[in-house]
Amino acid sequence: MSELIIQILAASMLLATPLLLAAIGELVVEKSGVINLGVEGMMLIGGLAGFIALYQLQTSICTLELDGVCFASDTSVNQLQYLGALVVAAVVGAAAAAVFGFLTQHFRANHIAAGLGLTVLGAGLSNSLGGNFFGVDYTAAIVAKVPALFPESWGDVPVLGPLLFAQNLLVPFSFVMLVAVWYFLSQTRAGLVVRAVGENHHSAYALGYPVILVRMLTIMFGGAMAGLAGAFIVIAQIAPKWTEGITVGKGWLALALILFATWRPGRVLLGAYIFGIVLALEPRLKAIFSNMSLELSYFLTALPYIVPVVVLVLISRNPVMIRRNAPASLGQAFEPRS
């Protein structure tokens, strides 16, 4: 029984981490008064960039060479190369976000339209670039599996083994970032400035804070986190493999998660793991209860999506809850008054 619980927890970590990473980033973006619906697109672009970087960085030793052409090779990846790929994913995610930032902050474009545009751009661009654009068909490229953070034998340690030692670097990182963002937003002066910009950009501007710069920085932070989330899905969640449209809507779930959490970091964590646990439970319940009816089976599949909808409805019935936590200037274009 306890083994089953640990299996479910380990599986839910894999499923929750990309949502958590992307949602932490978007949380900061929204706290500064910007709503970026392009999370899905940034995840795809960042994920592809991380995959390409890892493909280029990995150690490859040719084992079968004929006439100077390599027919078979042994590839391996170490933590440093993986770290390099993650940096690339974050930088490219931030760059994609900067496009959105430039449109919305410099040209004061509508946040919703620009964000949707970024989603479409991210999907299309990653499909094209991941094809044969750079002379390598990355949909067919093979990249070695990333080793766990700790020695493999540690994975057999009860409880801590599967839940910590066997996990990917980004899993503990997502917790560290969550605490860091909570601390930044609620305990630091800079975090206060970000929130002030999100609550009332005109007042913040009158006080001398660079509203547009602050928002550009948060937007790029959000992009970097989305890029890492994409890289986790492409590289670490299963095994490294680039597939067109591999995120399958996880970016949208990250957005829903923020509403679910009413812009509070602790609740983002809760929401991500509720989602992860439900997703991890679903196949296990279906395997154990093989006489499940179609209705129940469909219901289980839909459950992770129903929960946010129900919670959103409940939240929206309580306007005080929204008003207390939602940034007042969310989604509004800022034009300095002269």
The residues binding another protein (CB under 8 A) are 4, 7, 11, 14-15, 67, 127, 137, 139-140, 142, 145, 233, 237-239, 241, 243-246, 248, 250, 279-280, 282-284, 286-288, 290-294, 297-298, 301
Give CA–CA dist 211/105, Å, rounded: 9
Residue 258, burial from CB neighbour count under 10 angstroms (0-12, 13-18, 19+): buried
CB 270, min distance to another protein, A: 20
CB 20, min distance to another protein, A: 14
Give CA–CA dist 61/70, Å, rounded: 9
Number of CB atoms found within 10 A of residue 179's CB:
12
CB 249, min distance to another protein, A: 9
Of the pair 18, 265, the CB lying nearest another protein is at 18
CB 301, min distance to another protein, A: 5
Q: Among residues 34, 36, 201, 28, which one has the least CA distance to residue 115?
A: 36
Give CA–CA dist 120/114, Å, rounded: 10
CB 123, min distance to another protein, A: 10
159: Cβ contacts below 8 Å, ≥ 6 apart: 6
DSSP 89-116: HHHHHHHHHHHHHIIIIIS---HHHHHH
Of the pair 142, 328, the CB lying nearest another protein is at 142
Q: Is the dihedral of CA 217, 221, 227, 231 positive or negative?
A: positive
CB 5, min distance to another protein, A: 11
Of the pair 159, 328, the CB lying nearest another protein is at 159
Of the pair 13, 97, the CB lying nearest another protein is at 13
Please report, for residues 150, 255, 265, 277, the alpha-carbon distance to residue 315 in angstroms, rounded to integers and kept in the order given.
42, 15, 16, 22
Of the pair 4, 207, the CB lying nearest another protein is at 4
The pair of structure tokens assigned to 235 is 């590289």
Of the pair 131, 191, the CB lying nearest another protein is at 131
Of the pair 287, 313, the CB lying nearest another protein is at 287
Give CA–CA dist 101/109, Å, rounded: 9
Of the pair 260, 275, the CB lying nearest another protein is at 275
| H-helix or E-strand spanning residue 64 | strand 59-66
CB 224, min distance to another protein, A: 22
CB 235, min distance to another protein, A: 12
103: Cβ contacts below 8 Å, ≥ 6 apart: 109, 114, 117
